[in-house]
Amino acid sequence: MYNKLSKPNHSPESGNIIISFRNKVRRMPMDRKSKVCVLCGVLMTSLFYVAYALHVNFGGYSLTRTRDIATTLEQSCPLTKPVKTKDGAISYRIGIISDLDENSKHPNKLNTWVSYFKRGKLVLNANGGANKVSVLWDDNNVELTSSLAQGGRGMELSELVCFDGKILSLDDRTGVVYQIFDRHVSPWVIMADGDGQEAKGFKGEWSTVKDGQLYIGGLGKEWTSKTGEILNFNPQYVKIVGPSGAMTHVSWVDKYRKLLKTAGIEPPGYLIHESAVWSSVNKKWFFLPRRASKLKYDDKEDERHGTNMLLSCSEDFSGCDRTLIGPLNTTHGFSSFKFIPGTNDQEIVALKTQEVGGQIASYIMAFDLSGRILMSEQKIPGSYKFEGIEFL
């Protein structure tokens, strides 16, 4: 592994070599014009190698180093080490983030919007070869605030993801990707909607790390009116962001259609996605849709179209499968999930949210890829909608 902060060698010897070569060229039996051409060729070659050295040593990413970089980024998360208890259990620090929708406006501070960051411990117990999961929450939530908003709304944070040593969250109103520190946030990048040429911010709902890049996706269904008329396909774009913040915008229309077909749904039916994870271990994409319906979208009816399905696809989406997770509760839909570290990407902890008639609640559960329940749904304290979970 190379050191990005190391500096290229600028020793005096390198300059002496160039001077010596220039003197040799002067003594060569050729006309002045030919000698100038030779010296120019040598100079251009030298500049090429200097540029290459600077590229490697100061953050440029060549193809030969992509795999090393991706591995380093994956290994940097979680940021804190797990703790092994006396009875053999393993305890991990976790965090969840809230999306308060219209209630994110701070009640007392002018031009301020708020989200709540809740921390806790996930404990993985080995019990006769079958892992069991439990969660203990810290007493207090951390209040995170920002003055950035669009249309009078902001800090409606969806998803938590660890990337390049940073804990990030997505504001699905402004398109801002925030870095979360201990008790405050800082904007990192801003995502424009759709192909990146729109004035509106991108409504990011899920995020995952693949090959050293951060993938950020939206709802995955066409943007429609409240009664289901298609307005645009902007939520079916995916943003691919590098460690420097450089961003590309890729249409995933075909991939989302493949997921729809795997779920046994045909248009005008739909899936709404708020959680997805790429597994470098399984070499697969995994999705836990929040909503699923075989009928045309209706804003009110959508509240009762929760799912219990896990969709998995090969890297190129050429093959996809569906697994059912526990009993179906139509008012509970998945909002975020992560693979539990140390389980070889076989066990998952997931959040579910409920929004029915203005009543809001969040739940946490755990299961494995076969659908076996490791922890049944547990209500998270408070009446908040938590839409992101990550191992800290």
Mean pLDDT calculated for residue range 206-229 = 96
In this prediction the pTM is 0.82
pLDDT at 86: 86
Burial-class residue 358 by CB neighbours within 10 Å (0-12, 13-18, 19+).
exposed
pLDDT in tens, 350-382: 999 999 988 999 999 999 999 999 999 999 999
Domain ranges within the chain, ordered by starting residue: 70-391
State the virtual CA torsion across 341, 347, 351, 352 in degrees, nearest 10: 170
- Do residues 293 and 300 touch, judged by C-beta distance below 8 A? no
Backbone angles phi, psi at 71, to 5 degrees: -65, -40
Give the whole-number percent of the chain exceeding pLDDT 70.
80
Asked if residue 314 belongs to a known ligand binding site, the reply is: no
Helix ranges (H only) for 222-346 are 253-262
pLDDT at 56 over 60: no
Mean pLDDT calculated for residue range 150-156 = 97
Asked if residue 387 belongs to a known ligand binding site, the reply is: yes
Handedness of CA 219, 389, 290, 386 (dihedral sign): negative
Give the whole-number percent of the chain exceeding pLDDT 90.
77
Task: Retrieve residue 6's tokens.
Answer: 């190391």
Cβ-proximal residues to 365 (8 Å cutoff; 6+ apart), any chain: 326, 349, 350, 352, 373, 375, 376, 377, 378
Burial 131-145 (b: 16+ CB within 10 A, else e): bebebebeeebbebb
pLDDT at 41: 57
Asked if residue 158 belongs to a known ligand binding site, the reply is: yes
pLDDT at 160 over 90: yes
Asked if residue 159 belongs to a known ligand binding site, the reply is: yes
> Architecture of domain 70-391 in CATH?
6 Propeller (2.120)
- Do residues 117 and 144 touch, judged by C-beta distance below 8 A? yes
pLDDT in tens, 226-256: 889 999 999 999 999 999 999 999 999 999 9
Mean per-residue pLDDT of the chain:
87
